[in-house]
Structure 1
Amino acid sequence: MANNTKTPEQSPLGKTVQYQDQYAPELLFPIPRQQKRDEIGVDGSALPFAGVDIWTGYELSWLNARGKPQVAIATFRIPADTPNLIESKSFKLYLNSFNQTRLDSMEQLQAQLALDLSRAAGGAVAVSLASPQDFARERIDELAGEYIDDIDIDVCDYHPDPARLSADLSHIVSETLCSNLLKSNCLVTGQPDWGSVQIHYIGPRIERESLLRYLIGFRQHNEFHEQCVERIFTDVLRACQPQQLTVYARYTRRGGLDINPFRSNSGEPAPANVRTARQ
């Protein structure tokens, strides 16, 4: 029986491609999530978290029925329990395939986006579109919490090692820690991905220096955004033993798209899609 599993190396990443400006849903390239989850010991049938990948599309345009260009900002919410993530360059190429596509209304576009992305992800993807009349309501804010980036430390290793994490098991706290120093690299091309991360937890007090060293350790690590956040979540959960844990990262955009994974076992709702200053 043929193996139809798609790998990141088969995606458009790092390859010269011809841009299509007519609707082409076949451009979407899904990648099974479980391949990387196996590496961190996450059972796909019993995920230790719930969550969503929140994407923002800033370069969305199409033609109305009379051929006049239209623009919008799109928000896509892809549940973490869908079997596939969608490779970002293929996502960009797919969105650009609407550039010379005539549609009767923005509602028609929204419905088509939801249908195509849901098929690629393997589950229901929510899509919302902000028209130019809504742009003034788009907000910029920073992640709430205590930033640990000013801690003065020496660093000599730039690969994530959960053994660096430590917590005071005798001191139970509820707190939110943040860092703007998250950087990882694309799994295929090695291009840098810049992000900010927020970690909210209830449990043994995480030693801040250990957490900062651990997060800086992603600096030469090659993984997709979603995979990095799931690795952070599972490593902190195992090493620090919090009763509740939420990890949320906002990455800077590339190709008109930003990706903001959210993973939590606390039951709290996913955040609103409010971009940071770097996005």
Structure 2
Amino acid sequence: MDLRLDGKRALVTGASSGLGEHFAKVLAEAGASVTLAARRLDKVEANAAALREAGHDAEAAEMDVADAQSVAALFAGRAPFDILINNAGVSGAGAALSMTAEEFAGVIDTNLTGAFAVARAAAAGMREAGGGSIVNIASILGLRVSGHLAAYTASKAGLVQLTKALALEWARYGIRVNALCPGYIETPINAGFFATEAGKALIGRIPQRRLGSQGDLDAPLLLLASDRSAYMTGSVIAVDGGHLVSGL
């Protein structure tokens, strides 16, 4: 199956580190011209430079998805993107009784409202260009809950439903909107936790008895971003080692 993206222009939000940085690399290696966006301009500039050194077409842009003016500034004067990977997000971990309304709103503003703002801005250009692909990076915690993550689970559940609503509304413009829901993916940030007894116990509840690697997300991401998924919109794909189907 050909999952090449040659000639496509892609925007990846939250591309300063973690999955966003990885997704930008995957799209660039598939042939896309990639814009890496995040609040930390120095980080995305370094990531974009590394991609260019590897022979890929990449640029950096500063953007805070929770700031409407910042979002508008990124899109102003640019040619439409063919692909949007809506990845920017924050965890907002903490007990609900200890969380302030402002802290809750901060998670929603980034993970849900911010995702909508970027999707809407990207879709305006895609409509004029005749279509495009938006991939919202949700989570299995948008489909199932976990303790001390009330704001995060609410935001990701909202993002799943937003994906379906926008898919319905924008299908007439040739814009496809799908969601990718990763399970527990191993990264340098969470490696310490998964080495603890609590982390090992969590891994033991995953049917495949392992964490996912970032590479486990590559093919699903490329499928949704590429024209090979031309008849898919409003789809929600979980990549979680069977976690969602594990027993309660």
Tell whether the structures are fold-level matches, with TM greater than 0.5: no
The higher radius of gyration belongs to 1
- The two structures have a TM-score, normalised by structure 1, of 0.23
Report which structure shows greater RCO (CA 8 Å, sep ≥6). Answer: 1
- The two structures have a TM-score, normalised by structure 2, of 0.25
Which structure has greater helix proportion?
2
Which structure has greater strand proportion?
1
